[in-house]
A and B are shown apart, each in its own frame.
Chain A
């Protein structure tokens, strides 16, 4: 039977939803599921992890040098506890993408990236070529499987679990060559882009950072997170962490509203798991209309305020 270790993603206070999505993936694999929480002062995160349904044990390793998720410090801890597990999973967020390959290399195995479907415990489906092809990959059964889980493909596991929490001592030491300096967060009080059920996005057609305020305003009316196309980020209208697409965030909200986004393939890659896609664009030929569930050709500068009024 499989024995699965999931590496918790968190910010020191809250467990990231991506972790419960990994639990759903682990349940599809089947077997015992443990979550490991690394960090400093992580009691709150550990209890949240213990409350995810389907989890057997939560392993807590707390140390000053584990406060920030530096792969140089975290990977050896995971490697030290990996023996006995058949699978190690982490979310395919920038956190998991950074950390997991280092773990795989130290364990002497390849890593499977972006698992979107489990066919059996050693047979997985994942996207390549920005989602333009989907491959079925068989991994060897006689070595540990290290994989990242594509968050947009999995629902969050339910709450209501009561896993045992086990504290363990850290086995490593602080890296002599890498140190954390700081984090500049672009977000405010709005819902998190990656887990929001509604997302309003703007593209280059907004024309300026100031004009983007109408997107924020509509998003606040809807209780939605705000995203942007790469063009809008590159033009400096919004910070990079708002980028939706192949090289930004891959999201799966119930409702996605795209304003002034033409729909480059790289952007579509980031939204094609959304429930309903709404596109508003003044160019009726924009490729986004080919995949939108509801399209409206028109001037976003008049349509956005009107939508806000109609929804009010």
Chain B
């Protein structure tokens, strides 16, 4: 079975993002970029399935400008067998991303597609579900446990009410949550080896997809800040303060 893993280049999760003073976007100039952390977990899961003999090949795919090849190389260094860049210099909204990934699925015929549950830049949390819908296949979102058994899988999902378990037939789309696994660290020799692994570049326009009705972002603003309040010295003072405010 082949596993396709989608990865997105995003501002590193440790970077405190700042909105540009003119409200046209966020400051990404000279900012560290990384593989979206949820996608890294998706890739780790794919690699573990391969190591357990349940998958034969792991292919990483990213949609973006040439800079995203860095993140695809990171994926190859982690252990993916080959990479596909769907190249475009414009921003891609989730419907277009899902439609593009569906075209890649049609070419690659994977048995399983693993994605992060959301990208930490747009926080949209849509692409996997859209892809599954367009593909008319199962979607197992927010996965914290994945057991693959032949052409079936059992997935534990982190939902608001607790842990939900569903059974799905493959092929399917699984989007992963934080507690599925801890991704491995990339070792230097693997980075060297990754340079020789194949990377296909497919221009987005070659896939012939329609981006659908797109949204336009008219303004970026920093969030309203909470102000630092008061410090109290003891539990008695704390309780008194809560009583004064009518909270207890």
CB contacts (< 8 Å) of A180 on chain B: these are 164-166
Once A106-B133, A128-B122, A138-B215 are accepted as A-B contacts, the answer to whether A296 and B234 lie under 8 Å apart by CB is: yes
Interface flags, B207-220, vs A, CB<8A=1, else 0: 00000111111111
Whether B63 is near chain A, meaning CB under 8 Å from some CB there, is no
Contact indicator B164/A135 (Cβ below 8 Å): no
CB contacts (< 8 Å) of B42 on chain A: these are none
Residues in B55-96 with C-beta less than 8 Å from chain A: 93-95
Once A94-B158, A98-B129, A138-B215 are accepted as A-B contacts, the answer to whether A296 and B226 lie under 8 Å apart by CB is: no
Interface flags, A175-211, vs B, CB<8A=1, else 0: 1111111111111000000100010000000000000
Contact indicator B178/A230 (Cβ below 8 Å): yes
Q: Of the listed stretches B1-9, B185-193, B194-202, B240-248, name the one at the interface; the rest are far from the partner chain.
A: B240-248
Once A105-B95, A230-B178 are accepted as A-B contacts, the answer to whether A136 and B120 lie under 8 Å apart by CB is: no
Contact indicator A105/B166 (Cβ below 8 Å): no
Contact indicator A297/B231 (Cβ below 8 Å): yes
Interface flags, A133-161, vs B, CB<8A=1, else 0: 11111111011000000000000000000
Whether B53 is near chain A, meaning CB under 8 Å from some CB there, is no
Q: Chain B nearest CB: distance from A104 CB in Å?
A: 7
Of A138, A177, A290, the residue contacting B138 (CB under 8 A) is A177
Q: Chain B nearest CB: distance from A183 CB in Å?
A: 5
Of B94, B142, B169, B234, the residue contacting A101 (CB under 8 A) is B94
Whether A130 is near chain B, meaning CB under 8 Å from some CB there, is yes
Contact indicator B213/A234 (Cβ below 8 Å): no
- Bound complex: CA A307 to CA B236 (Å): 8
Contact indicator A296/B235 (Cβ below 8 Å): yes
Of B11, B130, B248, the residue contacting A102 (CB under 8 A) is B130
| Chain A residues within 8 Å of chain B by Cβ, number | 91
Q: Of the listed stretches A26-34, A49-57, A59-67, A68-76, name the one at the interface; the rest are far from the partner chain.
A: A68-76
CB contacts (< 8 Å) of B128 on chain A: these are 101
Residues in B94-130 with C-beta less than 8 Å from chain A: 94-95, 98, 120-130
Of B123, B137, B141, B247, the residue contacting A254 (CB under 8 A) is B247
A72: nearest residue on chain B (CB-CB)?
B138
Whether B21 is near chain A, meaning CB under 8 Å from some CB there, is no
- Bound complex: CA A183 to CA B169 (Å): 19
Q: Of the listed stretches A35-43, A80-88, A109-117, A163-171, name the one at the interface; the rest are far from the partner chain.
A: A109-117
Of A102, A130, A177, the residue contacting B168 (CB under 8 A) is A177
- Bound complex: CA A183 to CA B156 (Å): 9
Q: Chain A nearest CB: distance from B23 CB in Å?
A: 9
Once A110-B214, A194-B160, A311-B239 are accepted as A-B contacts, the answer to whether A134 and B248 lie under 8 Å apart by CB is: no
Whether B154 is near chain A, meaning CB under 8 Å from some CB there, is yes
Interface flags, A271-300, vs B, CB<8A=1, else 0: 010011110100000000111111111100
CB contacts (< 8 Å) of A303 on chain B: these are 235, 238
CB contacts (< 8 Å) of A246 on chain B: these are 123
Contact indicator A135/B134 (Cβ below 8 Å): no
Of A97, A133, A295, the residue contacting B222 (CB under 8 A) is A133
Once A98-B141, A101-B129, A292-B228 are accepted as A-B contacts, the answer to whether A176 and B169 lie under 8 Å apart by CB is: yes
3 residue pairs, one from A and one from B, having the closest CB atoms: A293-B229, A105-B130, A101-B129
* B interface with A by C-beta (< 8 Å): 11, 16-19, 26, 93-95, 98, 120-134, 137-139, 141-142, 144, 154, 157-169, 172, 177-179, 212-223, 225-226, 228-239, 241-242, 245, 247-248
Q: A101-B127, A289-B231, A303-B238 are in contact. List 11 more A-B contacts (CB 8 A).
A: A104-B95, A109-B213, A110-B215, A112-B215, A129-B26, A136-B217, A184-B163, A185-B161, A187-B162, A239-B163, A296-B231
The contact sample of 11 A-B pairs, CB cut-off 8 A, is: A95-B159, A100-B129, A102-B130, A110-B213, A176-B169, A185-B161, A247-B178, A276-B245, A289-B228, A295-B231, A303-B235
* A interface with B by C-beta (< 8 Å): 11, 70-72, 75, 93-95, 97-106, 108-114, 123, 127-140, 142-143, 175-187, 194, 198, 222, 230, 233-234, 239-241, 246-247, 249, 254-255, 265, 272, 275-278, 280, 289-298, 303, 306-307, 310-311
